[in-house]
């Protein structure tokens, strides 16, 4: 099946691993360099899910050439007052490939969701993001935000992104945005004028781009370890 056809059919998948987050419970998961996976979360009233999808192969480990990693995440809010947070960061080089597909379904009202997905691609790496945000007709008073930002460090890196909003309720706040670009040349020039080498300036800018995703991790030790790992992405 062609990739474009596969992407368009993602919405009909039922995820293999189903997790129910009971009413009022909080769950935080950090998935670091996990293999391809299909995950399905059902949230009951007042529950809170915080999910981190980290594919940091350029900094930690290495992907087998020709074997892309695909993350498919489905979250269904089935009770009022749910909160869903999905944070994703893929840092790739060589011929590494990662596909991240998120589906957040607000089936009842009064819920919130926030998605921040970032890719940093170097050399011949490839990334894809498909983000579906669906708000049902009876899901009034919903607030949902989806952001995808991508940084290309070479002319041969490739990024494809497809955010999709389906809103069937009137009284909601919903936003989405996607951007792909290279390092800010003016920022690089400014930092070099402050006696920083080009290598140091690039490292600081790339690190700043990635760190806001990692800073959402609650565990201090784990967060600091990952921040230090990405600090060495630019040699």
pLDDT tens digit string along 71-110?
A: 999 999 999 999 999 999 999 999 999 999 999 999 999 9
Residue 184 CB partners (closer than 8 Å, separation 6+): 205
Reported as a pLDDT band with limits 50, 70 and 90, residue 3 is very low
Rounded Cα–Cα distance for residues 137 and 21 (Å): 23
Nearest to 87 by CA among 230, 182, 203, 218: 218
Q: Return the pLDDT at 90.
A: 94
Using the predicted structure, report yes or no on whether residue 141 has a pLDDT greater than 70: yes
Per-residue confidence (pLDDT) for residue 5, from 0 to 100: 33
Top-confidence residue, 204 or 217: 217
d(CA 182, CA 153): 6
pLDDT, residue 44, reads 97
The values of phi and psi at residue 40, to 5°, are -130, 115
Give the C-alpha separation, 99 to 231, whole Å.
23
Query: Given a cut of 80, is residue 153 above it in pLDDT?
Result: yes
- Checking if the pLDDT of 14 tops 50, the result is no
Work out the burial of residue 228: count CB atoms within 10 Å of its CB; fewer than 13 is exposed, 13-18 middle, 19 or more buried.
exposed
Contacts of 61 (CB under 8 A, 6+ apart): 33
What is the pLDDT at residue 42? 96
Question: Among 27-36, 103-112, 156-165, 184-193, which is the least confidently predicted range?
Answer: 184-193
With CA atoms as reference, report the closest residue to 38 among 55, 8, 14.
14
Two tokens at 127? 């990334």
Give pLDDT, residue 60: 79
Q: Which residue has the tokens 């140091």?
A: 200
CA torsion sign for 205, 207, 209, 212 is negative
Identify the bridge partners of residue 142 per DSSP, sorted by sequence position.
172
pTM recorded for the entire structure: 0.87
Using 50, 70 and 90 to split pLDDT, how confident is the model at 233? low
Distances (CA, A) of 233 to 94, 118, 185, 202, 203: 13, 15, 19, 10, 7
For all residues of the chain together, what is the average pLDDT?
Answer: 85
pLDDT for the residue numbered 228: 83
């Amino acid at each position: 099946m062609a990739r474009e056809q596969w992407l368009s059919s993602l919405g009909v998948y039922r995820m293999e691993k189903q997790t129910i987050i009971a009413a009022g419970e909080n769950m935080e998961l950090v998935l670091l360099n996990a293999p391809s996976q299909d995950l399905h979360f059902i949230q009951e009233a007042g529950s809170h899910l915080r999910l981190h999808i980290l594919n940091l192969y350029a900094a930690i480990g290495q992907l087998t050439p020709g074997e892309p990693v695909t993350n498919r995440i489905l979250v269904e809010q089935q009770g009022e007052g749910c909160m869903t947070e999905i944070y994703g960061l893929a840092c790739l080089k060589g011929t590494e490939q990662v596909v991240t597909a998120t589906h957040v379904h607000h089936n009842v009202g009064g819920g919130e969701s926030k998605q921040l997905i970032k890719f940093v691609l170097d050399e011949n790496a490839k990334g894809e993001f498909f983000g579906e945000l669906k708000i049902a007709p009876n899901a009034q008073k919903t607030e949902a935000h989806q952001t995808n930002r991508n940084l290309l460090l070479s002319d041969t890196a490739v990024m494809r992104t497809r955010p999709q909003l389906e809103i069937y309720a009137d009284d909601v706040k919903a936003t989405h945005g996607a951007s792909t670009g290279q390092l800010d040349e003016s920022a690089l020039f400014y930092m070099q004028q402050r006696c920083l080498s080009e290598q140091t300036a690039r490292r600081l800018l790339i690190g700043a781009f990635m760190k806001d995703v990692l800073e959402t991790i609650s565990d201090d030790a784990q967060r600091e370890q990952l921040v230090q790992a990405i600090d060495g992405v630019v040699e």
